[in-house]
Amino acid sequence: MKFRHVLVVACCLALTACGSLHMPKVKVWPFYKKPKPVPEAVHELNLVNSDGSGASYPQYWSRNTLVIDLSGVSGEGGVAARLPEETTWPVRVAVRVQPGRVGQLEMQAEERNVVAVSPEGAKPVDIELSSSLYTPTTAAIYISWRPAPVIVDTAPEAPAEPEFVSPTEVPKSSAPTSDQSSTDGAADAAAEDTQKASDIVSPAEAAQPAPGG
């Protein structure tokens, strides 16, 4: 009896061992997600700060686009991307920034481009440089960043309210009309003639002796 019991136990152990050897490893799918590989940093351009010191911003290849990673910058600043000797610029160049930290980008080389950065978004965005900004042998591209400009809307001045004039009141004119000017002139001339006439002395009055004479 004991022998049969031992034999049954041995067979169960053997079957368990065989099953564990031949059972494939099962992945937890679809919950299993392979981590995205981290891009390898490269050194294609010489980055220089505004004070002339070397800058250490990462550079990556994203297919055929060279990305200058400025996602860690904020406020206001700048960097120059210089082309090493005996090399040419990649066909495509992009700048990576973080929305909310940078409001505006300015790139200057063969021409000047200013690009607004949307404040919305939690992930960094890549802004590709215009192909007309540089030629294959352009010496350097100057990149600067700053906060978004603040636009203040000023309310237009309210027009002056017109003076209230009663509809039954005759409008007053500060300048006299031509008829009024001529009438006033005639009145003044008549008054002057009357004054001159009163100054004339008759012959009878002239012949009378002066009082006390």
What pLDDT, in 10s, does the model give residues 125-179? Answer: 999 999 999 999 999 999 999 998 877 666 667 676 666 666 666 666 655 555 5
- 61 beta partners: 66
Residue 123 within any structural domain of the chain: yes
Residue 99 within any structural domain of the chain: yes
How many independent structural domains does the chain possess? Answer: 1
- Mean of the per-residue pLDDT values for the chain? 77
User: Do 68 and 59 meet the contact criterion of CB atoms below 8 Å apart?
Assistant: yes
The per-residue pLDDT for 154 is 67
Question: Side chain identity at 101, as an amino acid letter?
Answer: R
Stretch (H or E) spanning 144: strand 140-146
What's the mean pLDDT in 100-122?
94
Residue 121 within any structural domain of the chain: yes
Size of the chain in residues: 213
> Which comes out higher in pLDDT, residue 51 or 37?
51
132-137 long-range CB contacts below 8 Å, 24 or more apart?
133/107, 133/109, 134/89, 134/93, 134/109, 134/110, 135/89, 135/110, 136/88, 136/89, 137/83, 137/88, 137/89
Burial of 23 (0-12, 13-18, 19+ CB in 10 A): exposed
What's the mean pLDDT in 29-42?
74
The per-residue pLDDT for 13 is 59
Residue 202 within any structural domain of the chain: no
Least confident among 22-26, 111-115, 139-143: 22-26
User: How many Å apart are CA 49 and CA 79, to the nearest integer?
Assistant: 5
The per-residue pLDDT for 63 is 92
Whether pTM > 0.75 for this model: the answer is no
For strand 140-146 and strand 77-82, is the pairing parallel, antiparallel, or unpaired? antiparallel
The per-residue pLDDT for 36 is 73
Residue 128 within any structural domain of the chain: yes
CATH number (domain holding residue 129): 2.60.40
The per-residue pLDDT for 105 is 96
Give the pLDDT confidence of 50-63 residue by residue, as tens digits: 899 999 999 999 99
Q: What is the end-to-end Cα distance of the chain in Å, rounded?
A: 192
> Which comes out higher in pLDDT, residue 25 or 150?
150
Residue 79 within any structural domain of the chain: yes
Neighbour count for residue 103 (Cβ, 10 Å): 20
Residue 60 within any structural domain of the chain: yes
> 98 pLDDT exceeds 80?
yes
> 87 pLDDT exceeds 90?
yes
In the chain, where does DSSP find H-type helix?
2-22, 178-198, 203-207
Percent of the chain surpassing pLDDT 90: 48
Q: Which domain holds residue 137?
A: 46-146
Residue 19 within any structural domain of the chain: no
> 64 pLDDT exceeds 80?
yes
**DSSP per position, 60-75:** EEETTEEEEE-TT--S
> 212 pLDDT exceeds 70?
no
The per-residue pLDDT for 121 is 86
